[in-house]
Chain A
Amino acid sequence: DTEVTQTPKHLVMGMTNKKSLKCEQHMGHRAMYWYKQKAKKPPELMFVYSYEKLSINESVPSRFSPECPNSSLLNLHLHALQPEDSALYLCASSQGGGLPTEAFFGQGTRLTVV
């Protein structure tokens, strides 16, 4: 199984809502990532989890809150978002452990904040 599964595929939320994005992988990867991508732009790294611990936070606003319940799951909790947060949110995983390997991406969640 070489898939990274993200749910939901699409999400529309109001600025006062709380929602969560979910990501799952069963490749035994120990590094998991959240990226944000705007149209026609490269992905922007938000968070990196390594061995279930947050290792990189790219100065992301606190309205985005990541969580790694176990080595297969990664969540992104959303609260009080702004319209400019509308984007494609991508989850990825890689072997981790300092090994230079490829990243496997999910299909993303298209988020619209209204």
Chain B
Amino acid sequence: SQQGEEDPQALSIQEGENATMNCSYKTSINNLQWYRQNSGRGLVHLILIRSNEREKHSGRLRVTLDTSKKSSSLLITASRAADTASYFCATDALPHNAGNNRKLIWGLGTSLAVNP
């Protein structure tokens, strides 16, 4: 089941610009994760933000989490052509994830194109 909705669905920017994509979700969560997927390949984990955190940085990535609005944003600064990919948020949600039966609930993804 999918609970995340991401916007925009597609984003096209020039190299050097910043890219912001948003994710909304419906239920309470343990954490929210962002993944990148290059065309037709596996997903790569980018960053995990816990429900008690509001902001997290990793290199050119900045993630925010607003649990009151049930939303998160991913900012990629100074984008590069190599950032062209699909970006997915995934929530590690309550109450589905009890004990060992953890699973991620995926958003629909944002397709980012960074033009040289």
In the complex, B54 has a CB within 8 A of chain A: no
Closest Cβ neighbor of A106 among chain B residues:
B42
- Is A42 a contact partner of B100 (Cβ separation < 8 A)? no
Interface size, chain A (Cβ < 8 Å): 31
Q: CB-CB < 8 A to B45: which residues of A? A: 102-104
Closest Cβ neighbor of A97 among chain B residues:
B100
How far apart are the CA atoms of A107 and B2 in the complex, in Å? 22
Q: Could you count the A-B residue pairs with CB atoms below 8 Å apart for me: how many are there? A: 69
How far apart are the CA atoms of A89 and B51 in the complex, in Å? 30
Known: A40-B111, A51-B100, A98-B99. A107 touches B42 (CB 8 A): yes
- Is A100 a contact partner of B104 (Cβ separation < 8 A)? no
Give min CB distance, A106 to chain B, whole Å: 5
In the complex, B102 has a CB within 8 A of chain A: yes
Residue ranges of B at the interface with A (Cβ–Cβ < 8 Å):
2, 30-31, 33, 35, 40-45, 48, 50, 86, 88, 92, 97, 99-104, 106-109, 111
Residue ranges of A at the interface with B (Cβ–Cβ < 8 Å):
4, 6, 31, 33, 40-43, 45, 48, 50-51, 55-56, 88, 90, 92, 94, 96-98, 100-108, 110
